[in-house]
């Protein structure tokens, strides 16, 4: 196997591991806010939980996935935050429509929104945020 392909596969595997950790943090906060705190809107609770997931994702992406720890962290951070702010709005919007408007289970809406986020974020991080 050629070196660039092997590097891309390794990077994608790390991206998935980092994504699982960030999603677990995001989901845990979402469930806590909805089921323990009693936040009445799944969309609002999801938006708050996204902040936690985004923080975990940035740190993991910078130091573990893309190994860009020696890059300009402030530039990376601003690009990352901009992309994830848009993704958080998308994620919250999906849950708002799916759960608050259509009345479906928030867990399924979370999976749908997360699937969209995974596809968009890998490409954006690789090409716009942590590109060498």
Where in the chain are the domains?
3-129
90 and 60 Cβ atoms separated by less than 8 Å: no
pLDDT at 104: 96
CB neighbours of 35 closer than 8 A, spacing ≥ 6?
A: none
Overall average pLDDT of the 9-36 stretch: 94
DSSP string, 35-100: III--S-HHHHHHHHHHHHHHHHHHHIIIIIS--TTS-HHHHHHHHHHHHHHHHHHHHHHHIIIII
pLDDT at 114: 85
pLDDT confidence bin for 132, thresholds 50/70/90: confident
Q: For 37-84, how does the pLDDT look when each residue is reduced to its tens digit (9 = 90+)? A: 999 999 999 989 988 998 899 999 999 999 888 888 899 999 999 998
Predicted TM-score (pTM) of the model is 0.71
């Amino acid at each position: 196997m050629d070196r660039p392909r092997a590097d891309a596969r390794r990077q994608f595997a790390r991206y998935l591991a980092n994504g699982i950790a960030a999603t677990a943090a995001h989901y845990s906060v979402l469930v806590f806010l909805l089921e323990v705190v009693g936040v009445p809107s799944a969309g609002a609770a999801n938006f708050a939980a996204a902040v936690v997931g985004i923080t975990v994702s940035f740190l993991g992406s910078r130091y573990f996935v893309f190994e860009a720890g020696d890059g300009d962290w402030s530039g990376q951070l601003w690009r990352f935050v901009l992309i994830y702010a848009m993704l958080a709005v998308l994620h919250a919007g999906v849950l708002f429509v799916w759960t608050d408007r259509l009345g479906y289970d928030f867990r399924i809406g979370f999976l749908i929104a997360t699937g969209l986020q995974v596809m968009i974020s890998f490409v954006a991080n690789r090409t716009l945020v942590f590109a060498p």
